[in-house]
Chains A and B, each alone.
Chain A
Amino acid sequence: MNRYLLRRLAQSAIAVLGTVTLVFFIQRLAGDPTLLMLPEGATREDIETLRRQLGFDRPVIEQYLDYVWQLLRLDLGQSLVQRLAVGDIIASRLPYTLYLAAAALVVALGIGLPVGVLMAVKRDTRLERLLVAFVLIGQSMPTFWSGILLILFFAVTLGVMPASGVDGFHSVILPAIALGALTMATFARVTRTAVLEELSRDYVPAAQAKGLRFRAVVFSHILRNAATPIITVSALEIANLLAGAIIVETVFAWPGLGQLAVQSIAARDFPIVQGIVLLGSFVAISLNLLADILYSVVDPRIRLEGRA
């Protein structure tokens, strides 16, 4: 472990603590958090009882320390509707979201990488312009709309895909495309820039002068050098995919964390919402850290300089 990594680790720990603090205080934005946890039309006594039960009548700082201590023991509290531990409920939904995000990542990489390479290699041709349009569409289509269009076309009109729910391998295809589109566009853009940069390096004409065919140069030299930014972007994009899943899961009735979050807001089940937000932020912070570590491994300048 060198100083740079230690420093990044400490920063991430502070970010996690900060997130916990922020979430704690957001709860209190509305005034009394017990109001968030009771159904509308609760009586005054109900409110009083719950407040005492949950300890909201104590000083805020004491509540805050309690809250942090509880989270340190990985205890996310109890669902108000289902009377189950929030951790268990989240754990039961998490695999679906991970499955969907992984499938979307496959779609994004599988299409984004080749498209990006083609855009760079075929620069200023009609093909590039076509691909640019394709990428722009992927980037500007809101996922809830592309999801609906996919259902309209493949499920309603053609009837070849299930419209929603989880039922075998088929059912992940449409949501994965809807979720992966934006990430695909990002991959294509990053790959294009990286490949273009490598194309302008001196080793390219050198390799060609050596008698290597252009295609071989692209595959054996350029792609290997261009991989760095693509790998780092991947870590960040996984976080985006998980966040995007909230909307896609609602469109496709996919029983993951996103759907759970939306349902829990509607049911006023605040502990679950909070658990999902904390988990999501923790994952995002970890992925950010991972991206920086990856980057410092492949580019020692960052590590040695100490401050990025």
Chain B
Amino acid sequence: MTDLAANPPPAVPAPAAPVRQLGYSVRAIWPFLVIFGGFVLLALFAPLIAPNDPNSQNLLARLRPPGTTARGIFYALGTDEVGRDLLSRLIYGARVSLLVAFLSVLVSTVLGTTLGMIAGYYRGWVEVIIMRLVDIVLSIPAILLAIITVAVLGPGLQNLILVLGFTRWPRYARVAYGQTLVVMNLPFVRASRFIGARTPRLMLRHILPNIAGAVIVVATLEFGLMVLFEAGLSFLGLGVQPPTPSWGSILSVGRNYMATAWWIATFPGICLFLLALSINLIGDHLRDRLDPRSKR
């Protein structure tokens, strides 16, 4: 519940050796950039890369293990319960995963940053209303908020993006608000106010560029979370609907075939794990770089 402006001053003198607040840092970040970049490429060029149509069924080649060839088609990662090529479904799944994460982060970034800046700029009752709303939305566990909204609106790609976007904006609002309060007091902003700069100019030219770093850090960390949320909701059957391939829904099918076809649940899990891991580490790295004051 603390914001940057209201942080209590440290009572004890700063420790002699600065402790890296974030905890560990991973020395080499590039392997994770490569992994993330790889998934982005898979997503962008899925139709060119995927060896087969992700939705074409081959009922005579159901549940085949990785590396089998059936009727002249090679299934590198095996087939699922209706004989679809798992590898191709995973490649198209990267598309769904990144698309949902990217668009929902975009929705919540725009919404949250705007509201946070407005709250920090105008103060007064506008601030009270917006920040109270932030507290309320943040106090509902995100997965519950997502579940009740999906229950009302119905599942599907579009609704999923909206639900995630509209449930996550308070994170950005809080950061944007705190940073705006700080920036508003900087000499150059006050100066340009005195010489008569108008609100839009102040917000876009002076405040936004100065709070962008902190917002980007939040967005990166949220991006990883959104990937997991999409997969989680799709796993529960509340996200992307079949036959559209999503790693989460492939996993939930795989759960039913664990004893006979281990590959269906294993490979989408690995993809999800690698993507989430690389995004988390990139986010941590960015935070270290851009926001040295950050804790935890």
Contact flags (1/0) for B222-249 with A, using CB distance below 8 Å?
A: 0000001001100111100000000010
Residues of A within 8 A of B76 (CB): none
Knowing A145-B269, A145-B272 touch, does A19 contact B8 (C-beta < 8 A)?
A: no
Chain A contact residue count (CB 8 A cutoff): 68
Residues of B within 8 A of A190 (CB): 296
Asked if B194 lies at the interface with its beta carbon under 8 angstroms from chain A, I say no
Q: Which of B133-151 contact A (CB under 8 A)?
A: 133, 135-137, 139-145, 147-151
> Closest approach, in angstroms, between the C-beta of A74 and any C-beta of chain B?
19
Q: Which of A132-159 contact B (CB under 8 A)?
A: 132, 135-137, 139-145, 148-149, 151-152, 156
Cβ–Cβ contact B152 & A152, under 8 A: no
Interface SS of chain B: helix
Residues of A within 8 A of B235 (CB): 144, 247, 250
Asked if B195 lies at the interface with its beta carbon under 8 angstroms from chain A, I say no
In the bound complex, what is the Cα–Cα distance between A151 and B257 (angstroms)? 12
Residues of A within 8 A of B24 (CB): 119, 128, 132, 135, 192
Asked if A18 lies at the interface with its beta carbon under 8 angstroms from chain B, I say yes
Knowing A148-B258, A152-B265, A246-B143 touch, does A136 contact B19 (C-beta < 8 A)?
A: no
> Closest approach, in angstroms, between the C-beta of B159 and any C-beta of chain A?
10
Task: Tell me which of B140, B248, B281 contacts A277 (CB under 8 A).
Answer: B140
Which of B2, B12, B145, B150 counts the most A-chain CB atoms under 10 A from its CB? B145
Residues of B within 8 A of A166 (CB): none
Tell me which of A57-65, A172-180, A213-221, A262-270 binds B: A262-270
Cβ–Cβ contact B133 & A193, under 8 A: no
Residues of B within 8 A of A142 (CB): 228, 231-232, 269, 272-273, 276
Cβ–Cβ contact A189 & B296, under 8 A: yes
Knowing A22-B137, A152-B265, A266-B237 touch, does A277 contact B21 (C-beta < 8 A)?
A: no
Asked if A84 lies at the interface with its beta carbon under 8 angstroms from chain B, I say no
Cβ–Cβ contact B228 & A250, under 8 A: no
Asked if B259 lies at the interface with its beta carbon under 8 angstroms from chain A, I say yes
> Closest approach, in angstroms, between the C-beta of B44 and any C-beta of chain A?
23
Q: Which residues of B contact A (CB under 8 A)?
A: 1-2, 6, 8, 11-12, 15-17, 19-21, 23-24, 26, 132-133, 135-137, 139-145, 147-154, 228, 231-232, 235-238, 248, 251-252, 254-255, 258-259, 262, 265-266, 268-269, 272-273, 276-277, 280-281, 295-296
What are some 20 contacts across the A-B interface (CB < 8 A)? A18-B136, A19-B136, A140-B280, A142-B272, A142-B273, A144-B248, A144-B252, A151-B258, A152-B265, A243-B141, A243-B144, A246-B144, A246-B147, A262-B237, A265-B238, A277-B145, A280-B144, A281-B141, A288-B139, A308-B8
